[in-house]
Amino acid sequence: MLTELKRKERLERGKPWVEEEVQLLDPDTYHEVHQKLQREKRFTEETFDDFQREQELLVTWVLQQHFKPLYNHIKQLRFIDLPRIYRRLFTEPGLIFHLHAGDHPPPHLQTICAQTVERLDRNELPYEDAAPYLYLKEQIEGLQRNTDIRHLFIDEAQDWSPFQFAFVKKLFSRSKMTVLGDTNQAIHAHTADTTGLESLSALYGEEEREAFTLTRSYRSTRPIVEFTRRLLPGGEKIEPFNRPGGIPTLTEAADAEELIAKVVDGIWELQGAGHQTIAVICKTAGESRRVWEELRQVLPIRLIEKETPSFEAGTLVIPSYLAKGVEFDAVVIFDTSQYGRESERKLFYTACTRAMHELHLYTTGKGSPFLSKISPDILHRADR
């Protein structure tokens, strides 16, 4: 669009209306152009006809004044309301069916649309909508490829979707990628069954990619790895590093009040053992805040939220999805009964694997079904 506008500007040069505008310019403009002409002569050794060059500058000035608003309008794309366009995809379901002719709509489409519109109206863009929104923006305004970046490192890639990988490949078309991910730690809903890692084979030909499978775990002690690998189908492929430590424990509580009391006792023991970083991992942000409100009445403890800028040594409460990629000396899993659905298995596994030296699980009720078949020599049922 800018190219077309520049072509239009060149075509206008020399037309009668431009010459008329030049003749009507005020003395200040003539003076400004004259000063520019003198600066040109001062900083260049070239010789030119002053009158002809002055006329060229005056014509350019006139054209710029007429075309500048158009350039600004196009550059800023003021006539395009991207948030409203994106919102239409969720307020007009028929539009989605039209765009996906022949495809089956995703399950729970109405719920997805309603929740997305609600958040967009609060000027919030959900994480999973970021890549589609940017893709729409690029389709309307033009794709801004970055050809300077020659290598990308992508960590925690198990939570990337195929669409995200495809979009990044377009943005960085000349870049190679090193992609790191553990499919067992895919914690988001859209990656519960499959991850974007599988899509790389379609994006890149066999001769363009090379895969390395790492099976040995170095973060945790051998007893912790022996336990956590039993939480996963095919977990026997994970090789523990031969570092000794205590067996993970499971402590039962009759109710919520007793659960808090036993967790407090457990934290005092861990602090007494000299552990510098202790994490109480809850399932959700809401549960984390409730637990923190209880625990902070009896011991110094910090709450980690998505806005928290950094981690510090000490004891903290953190939701499971924020604990991904972080490690702690000791981990307390608060109420394993919260993890029951198969789609939560990897989230539970990820939370448990944050522990380097000690792992202690607490529960009310029947506890998590993921623990029902684990033998006592792997998980010690404690009465603390």
Residue 147 near residue 174, CB atoms below 8 Å: yes
Clarify whether residues 298 and 376 are in a common domain.
yes
Angle, nearest 10°, between helix axes 16-23 and 50-76?
110
296: pLDDT strictly greater than 90:
yes
What domain range is 155 assigned to?
Answer: 145-214
**Residue 156 belongs to some domain of the structure:** yes
Q: Is the domain of 197 the same as that of 311? A: no
Shared domain check, 253 and 372: yes
∠ at Cα 345 (351, 178), nearest 5°?
70
The answer to whether residue 164 sits within a structural domain is yes
Q: Is residue 97 in a domain?
A: no
- In this prediction, residue 298 carries a pLDDT of 93
Asked whether residue 215 carries a pLDDT value surpassing 90, the answer given is no
Is residue 260 domain-shared with residue 205, that is, in the same domain? no
As a whole number, mean pLDDT of residues 68-85 equals: 76
Share of the chain above pLDDT 70, in %: 86
Whether 269 and 326 map to the same domain: the answer is: yes
DSSP strands (E only) in 78-175: 151-154
Query: Which among 319, 333, 342, 323 is positioned nearest to 364, based on CA atoms?
Result: 333
Cα 64 to chain centroid, rounded: 42
236-282 confidence digits (pLDDT tens)? 888 878 888 899 999 999 999 999 999 999 999 999 999 999 999 99
pLDDT at 384 over 50: no
pLDDT the model gives residue 76? 65
Q: Is the pLDDT of residue 291 over 50?
A: yes
279 within domain boundaries: yes
CATH number at residue 257: 3.40.50.300
End-to-end CA distance of the chain: 71
Domain shared by 370 and 254, yes or no: yes
Residues 6+ apart with CB under 8 A from 323: 279, 281, 350, 351, 354
Q: Look at residues 321, 331, 335 and name the one whose alpha carbon lies nearest to residue 368.
A: 335
> At 304, is the secondary structure helix, strand, or coil?
coil
Q: Which pLDDT band, with edges at 50, 70 and 90, does 332 fall under?
A: very high
Instruction: Give the range among 5-14, 69-78, 169-178, 333-342 with minimum mean pLDDT.
Output: 69-78
Domain boundary among 197, 214, 231: 214
Domain shared by 207 and 330, yes or no: no
> In this prediction, what percent of the chain has a pLDDT beyond 90?
30
Q: What pTM does this model have?
A: 0.66
Q: What pLDDT score does 151 carry? A: 93
Distance (Å, whole) CA 289 – CA 60: 63
> What is the reported pLDDT for 111?
86
User: Do 182 and 257 share a domain, yes or no?
Assistant: no
- Residues 267, 316, single domain; the answer is yes
Nearest in space to 304 (alpha carbons), one of 290, 316, 320, 286: 316
**Tokens describing residue 357:** 């030296």
The amino acid sitting at 32 is E
Domain endpoint, select from 24, 50, 76: 76
Model confidence over 114-141: pLDDT tens digits?
899 999 999 998 888 999 999 988 888 7
Supply the pLDDT for residue 153.
Answer: 92
Judged against a pLDDT cut of 60, whether residue 378 lies above it is answered with yes
Assigned domain for 11 exists: yes
**Token digits for 316?**
């903290």
What is the Cα–Cα distance from 210 to 189, expressed in whole angstroms? 27
Structural contact between residues 19 and 56, judged by C-beta atoms closer than 8 angstroms? no
Q: Tell me: the pLDDT tens digits for 300-316?
A: 999 999 888 777 889 99
272 and 151 co-located in one domain = no
Q: Is pLDDT of 51 > 80?
A: no
Residues 166 and 255 in one domain: no
Which helix (H) or strand (E) segment holds residue 176: the answer is strand 176-179
Query: Is residue 228 in a domain?
Result: no
Q: Domain end: 164, 195, 214, which one?
A: 214
Q: Is residue 88 part of a domain?
A: no
Range name among 142-146, 327-331, 352-356 with the lowest pLDDT average: 142-146
Has residue 165 been placed in a domain? yes
3-state SS assignment for residue 71: helix
The residue ranking higher by pLDDT, 268 or 189, is 268
Q: What is the mean pLDDT of residues 55-78?
A: 76
Number of domains the chain is built from: 3
Average pLDDT taken over every residue of the chain:
83
Residues 253, 354 within the same domain: yes
Selection from 237, 234, 231, 248 nearest residue 345 by Cα: 231
